[in-house]
A and B are shown apart, each in its own frame.
Chain A
Amino acid sequence: MAKTQGKVHSIISNLVLVKVEGPVSQNEICFIEENGERLMAEVIKVVGDLAYVQVFESTRGLKPGMPVEFENHMLEVSLGPGLLSKNFDGLQNDLDKMTGVFLKRGEYTNPLEEDKKWSFTPLAKTGDKVKAADWLGNVKENWLDHKIMVPFKLEGEYTVVSVAPEGEYTILDTIAVLKDKAGKEYNVTMVQKWPVKVAVRNYVDKPRPFRQMETGVRVIDTMNPMLEGGTGFIPGPFGTGKTVLQHALARFADADVIIMAACGERANEVVEIFTEFPELQDPRSGRSLYERTTIIANTSNMPVAAREASVYTAMTIGEYYRAMGMKVLLLADSTSRWAQALREMSNRMEELPGQDAFPMDLSAIISNFYSRAGMVFLNNGKTGSVTFIGTVSPAGGNLKEPVTESTKKVARCFYALSQARADSKRYPAIDTLESYSKYLEYPEFIEYAEKNISGSWIDDVNEARNMLVRGRETAEQIDILGDDGVPLDYHVIFWKSELIDFVILQQDAFDNIDGSTSMDRQQYMLNKVLEIVRADFEFDSFEEINPYFKRIINGFKQMNYSEYQSENFRKFEAEVQEIVNERKR
């Protein structure tokens, strides 16, 4: 099919109107040619013979009359071995392949390596009946089994005509030939393309999540658990530790693949990831963390239109690895910047604005995106999952703004970061009582927890939560009535809740040991703390209570800083026990 041509008609910042000489489709990709540079753009509206396109680059120097060529496809990504340990921009250009210190306009690079050989092992055999996303073979990508699949775009059932024997192949070599019902043959390579704005739906079933996704962060795992295939969001004013928390999740979460979309955020934060991750070890595999990580970096100073694309690019790569039966954790920081990119464009198109000048369909766009996460049963009965956690940067820290409210409707976990906690350096600054995980109520998870954590786990967690609520209430009473205006019990309750806060909720993300806590250890520590919460103590005056609990907290903190069940750990545990025995009734 011949490509449709056009000419630039009007320019308003990065919105360009193109007079077209043929058919165009919504979301079609086109290139504007300016003095030898080809600028990529996407159709976002068509009126008569004028196509409105958003340009993914600076439009400086663009003039009316410049030629435009349409590509007959939507924005697509290349999927194949070699996606891990990469730094892509929002359009999946490999940033490391770009020349020069500064980004050059119109420079697009291949996300994968065409000449690299991968060692391929066939999984399917001649005569097998297969459909889209079925596994044909396996290559080792870092230490992961990367499945070569029937391309997602193929519809219906196919018969395997041949599969390449075990050996070394490049991504462009044919590794299988398939035949459709009409007898037409298709050559399959290791690489396929998929339009990012379309969800990959080649699975049998998408059940409710039930398995816990361990993150190593106690306030999440213990108090507000995230599940495999679950969705969550982290709203918080600036300076409350959103990014530190996301990085902690990226480091310690029990996932096979981590995809981080740095969407309209600081470039130095991306630098931190690719500087530190290669040095850090995955506690489970013992390999470098970087080997399981892909970064989609569209930082705040990069073109705005590509920001929107970046989250979709990330999600599509996530869905691709999910189809291989992997546990994928997708982190996007921050979805508000993506919404702002939508707002800028909607404003330029002079659409009628919704609340805070955001486009009217913002809520629909967000819920559509979150719905792409989830755990699925694949064609072969195995499971794969995309767990999605997005941060939201509410304007002015006000949670009643459109992005936060739209996200709240769809995300199942809500991790509220609190300015007050951040101010008093109680990190991570997640306010446990404001936050929730709907999964705590899922019968599927309750059953899982009973079997895998402990029989009384959900009850224990709720007991700790209740203590925190009572602690907060008594703190208010003490503030109103004064230290000596309330019964001694009030002080004890308050300090028991502080004990939970300091020992369970607060965690030093920068400490080698305290930074990540295994579920095992979390269960052990919660039990230890609850033993004290349940105990009765003897005090003569309220002035004794504060220093006494501070000593207990100090002992527990030293435990948190020690290797689990090490000599030091036991020593501090014994010390805590001694202090407890002093006053326990």
Chain B
Amino acid sequence: MNTAFQKVYTKITQITKATCSLNAQGVGNDELAIVNGRLAQVVKIWGDTITLQVFSGTEGIPTNAEVTFLGKAPTLKVGEDLCGRFFNAFGDPIDGGPAVDGEEREIGGPSVNPVRRKQPSELIATGIAGIDLNNTLVSGQKIPFFADPDQPYNQVMANVALRAQTDRIILGGMGLTNDDYLYFKNLFDNAGVLDRIVSFVNTTEAPPVERLLVPDMALTAAEYFAVDRNEKVLVLLTDMTLYADALSIVSNRMDQIPSKDSMPGSLYSDLAKIYEKAVQFPAGGSITIIAVTTLSGGDITHAIPDNTGYITEGQLFLRKDTEIGKVIVDPFRSLSRLKQLVIGKKTRKDHPQVMNAAIRLYADAANARTKLENGFDLTDYDRRTLDFARDYSNELLAIDVNIDITQMLDTAWALFRKYFNRSELGIKKEIVDEFGNFPD
């Protein structure tokens, strides 16, 4: 970039809440600009008229504001020095430390050629049976928590991050409250893992449009560690609903026709671009994405969770089980699409059948409960499923469980023996013979 010959424009022709327009030549699409000291990006070029999206909003920008173009798309300086640091959406430090020195890379870079990907096959154990037993995570996977705003999703996600065996954790926080930001900061600090972690944080105090840069910043850092250094990287993105909200603000200001739930028509592609960065590279590095999508009143048909569900490889639902008074990972609505790649292969071979049988019996218990609530008599089988469901919920589904997968399977068999006979399980005979320990 030739900074010595930088043209300064001073005539803005149009200003909206998020954008301003001016006449200029030789400007490239997606290029960055500085408008009165604020960072902006080219979003539309119509002949000589350039429309800029000003990230921090256009409040107070005059028509004679100074505009200079930087001749490049947004970038991040990557290097070892990123570790242990906290940055804002522009990649500038917010922890009082010095600026990072490193190679400058454009964010939002190209996609991985699908044929160069490797099939994910490494299990990521979390100790939480609701995840490891029923919805096993695999490196290179992308999966969100679908949770109502009052659920402890950030805590569960932080737990998963700390227990998972990964080389690097990248946190992308969008619209985090200051309290949550400090929660993550203290937690990572106290766990003594700060040097493994890089954080990009946009708090609620910062303008919402800035959030749009956070996922790309976080993933550019992730690609550096996964590609250049062959590391296993875990990326945490919270909260993607607030990211999508920022997208809709921008598209609205640009007079685009909204589609479902006032979201832009390109929401699917916008989200896919982020989530598809999850990948297992052939050289051993990987990027795994765990995100949070907050729901409004548990509604998963809203455009944000709906589009997310079509993109991600499953979803994890948290639910409060009132009977045992604990938060559990809901076995019905949660799903890990990649679990088939590891269960029964990287884990004991009875894993798939035990998992399915337990969930089927748990579903029978739900039916029995409906009967009970409607005032009908229960059969003996109904009563047994209800007892089973309570123990299953408490000993396996609850998020405070922390045991390894073999213990989870043994626990499940113990519950099967306690409440059911062989034919009620619907499990292949050889498997029951080998692992069931049923008295004959």
Pair from one complex: yes
The residue from A95, A103, A482 contacting B371, defined by CB atoms under 8 A apart: A482
Given contacts A62-B28, A272-B119, A425-B360, contact A266 B377 (CB under 8 A): no
Chain A 384-398: CB-based contact to B (< 8 A → 1; otherwise 0) = 000000000101111
The residue from A61, A299, A347, A479 contacting B257, defined by CB atoms under 8 A apart: A347
Given contacts A268-B119, A510-B340, contact A395 B260 (CB under 8 A): yes
Q: How far is the CB of B235 from chain A (nearest CB, A)?
A: 15
Q: How far is the CB of B404 from chain A (nearest CB, A)?
A: 24
Q: Residue B176 at the A interface, CB < 8 A?
A: no
Asked if B309 contacts A239 (CB within 8 A), the reply is: yes
Asked if B332 contacts A357 (CB within 8 A), the reply is: no
Q: Report chain B residues within 8 Å CB of A153.
A: none
Q: Report chain B residues within 8 Å CB of A10.
A: 45-47
Asked if A356 contacts B260 (CB within 8 A), the reply is: yes
Q: How far is the CB of B312 from chain A (nearest CB, A)?
A: 8
- State which residues 383-427 of A face B: CB under 8 Å: 393, 395-398, 423-425
Q: How far is the CB of A580 from chain B (nearest CB, A)?
A: 15
Chain A 1-15: CB-based contact to B (< 8 A → 1; otherwise 0) = 000000001111000
The residue from A101, A393, A425 contacting B359, defined by CB atoms under 8 A apart: A425
Asked if A297 contacts B29 (CB within 8 A), the reply is: no
C-alpha spacing A561/B25, complex, angstroms: 70
Q: Report chain B residues within 8 Å CB of A276.
A: 119
Q: Residue A259 at the B interface, CB < 8 A?
A: no
Asked if B314 contacts A554 (CB within 8 A), the reply is: no
Q: Residue A238 at the B interface, CB < 8 A?
A: yes
Q: Report chain B residues within 8 Å CB of A272.
A: 119
Say which one of B177-185, B202-210, B422-430 lies at the interface with A. Answer: B422-430
Chain A 524-544: CB-based contact to B (< 8 A → 1; otherwise 0) = 000000000000000000110
Asked if B28 contacts A558 (CB within 8 A), the reply is: no
Which residue of B is nearest A510, CB measured? B340
Q: How far is the CB of A60 from chain B (nearest CB, A)?
A: 4
Asked if B113 contacts A102 (CB within 8 A), the reply is: yes
Q: Which of A98, A101, A301, A546 has the most CB of B within 10 A?
A: A301
Say which one of A173-181, A336-344, A367-375, A449-457 lies at the interface with B. Answer: A336-344
Q: Report chain A residues within 8 Å CB of B306.
A: 238, 395-397
Which residue of B is nearest A558, CB measured? B429
Q: Report chain B residues within 8 Å CB of A98.
A: 113, 115
Q: Residue B98 at the A interface, CB < 8 A?
A: no
- State which residues 47-74 of A face B: CB under 8 Å: 58-65
C-alpha spacing A427/B282, complex, angstroms: 33
Q: Which of B140, B141, B301, B314 has the most CB of A within 10 A?
A: B301
Tally A-B pairs: CB < 8 A.
198
C-alpha spacing A347/B272, complex, angstroms: 19
Q: Please, how many residues of chain B have a CB less than 8 angstroms from a CB on the other chain?
A: 81
Asked if B109 contacts A102 (CB within 8 A), the reply is: yes
Q: Residue B48 at the A interface, CB < 8 A?
A: yes
Asked if B380 contacts A266 (CB within 8 A), the reply is: no
C-alpha spacing A79/B222, complex, angstroms: 40
Q: How far is the CB of B51 from chain A (nearest CB, A)?
A: 9
Q: Report chain A residues within 8 Å CB of B333.
A: 423
Q: Residue B315 at the A interface, CB < 8 A?
A: yes
C-alpha spacing A86/B197, complex, angstroms: 40
Q: Residue B325 at the A interface, CB < 8 A?
A: no
Asked if B309 contacts A103 (CB within 8 A), the reply is: no
Which residue of B is nearest A301, CB measured? B276
Given contacts A10-B45, A101-B113, A271-B118, contact A63 B28 (CB under 8 A): yes
Given contacts A483-B379, A546-B381, A547-B381, contact A103 B113 (CB under 8 A): yes
Asked if B426 contacts A557 (CB within 8 A), the reply is: yes
Which residue of A is nearest B281, CB measured? A101
Q: Report chain B residues within 8 Å CB of A238.
A: 306, 309-310
- State which residues 25-83 of A face B: CB under 8 Å: 58-65
Given contacts A300-B311, A396-B301, A558-B429, contact A64 B48 (CB under 8 A): yes
Asked if A484 contacts B113 (CB within 8 A), the reply is: no
C-alpha spacing A524/B377, complex, angstroms: 39
Say which one of B9-17, B60-68, B262-270 lies at the interface with A. Answer: B262-270
C-alpha spacing A96/B117, complex, angstroms: 11
- State which residues 284-329 of B face A: CB under 8 Å: 300-303, 306-307, 309-311, 313-315
The residue from A105, A299, A395, A479 contacting B276, defined by CB atoms under 8 A apart: A299
Q: Report chain B residues within 8 Å CB of A266.
A: 276, 311, 313
Asked if A546 contacts B379 (CB within 8 A), the reply is: yes
Asked if B112 contacts A103 (CB within 8 A), the reply is: yes
The residue from A60, A395, A546 contacting B29, defined by CB atoms under 8 A apart: A60
Q: Residue B363 at the A interface, CB < 8 A?
A: yes
Q: Can you show 11 pairs from A to B with CB atoms below 8 A apart?
A: A12-B46, A63-B27, A87-B115, A103-B113, A238-B310, A268-B140, A268-B141, A347-B265, A396-B301, A423-B332, A510-B340
Residues of chain B touching chain A, judged by Cβ–Cβ distance below 8 Å, are 25-31, 44-48, 73, 109-120, 140-141, 227, 256-260, 265-266, 268-269, 272-273, 276-277, 279, 281-282, 300-303, 306-307, 309-311, 313-315, 332-333, 335, 337-338, 340, 352, 356, 359-360, 363, 370-371, 374-377, 379-381, 423-424, 426, 428-429
**Further 18 A-B residue pairs, CB within 8 A, beyond A87-B115, A268-B140:** A10-B46, A59-B29, A63-B27, A87-B114, A95-B115, A100-B113, A101-B282, A103-B111, A237-B309, A274-B115, A300-B276, A344-B265, A483-B377, A483-B379, A543-B379, A554-B426, A558-B428, A561-B428
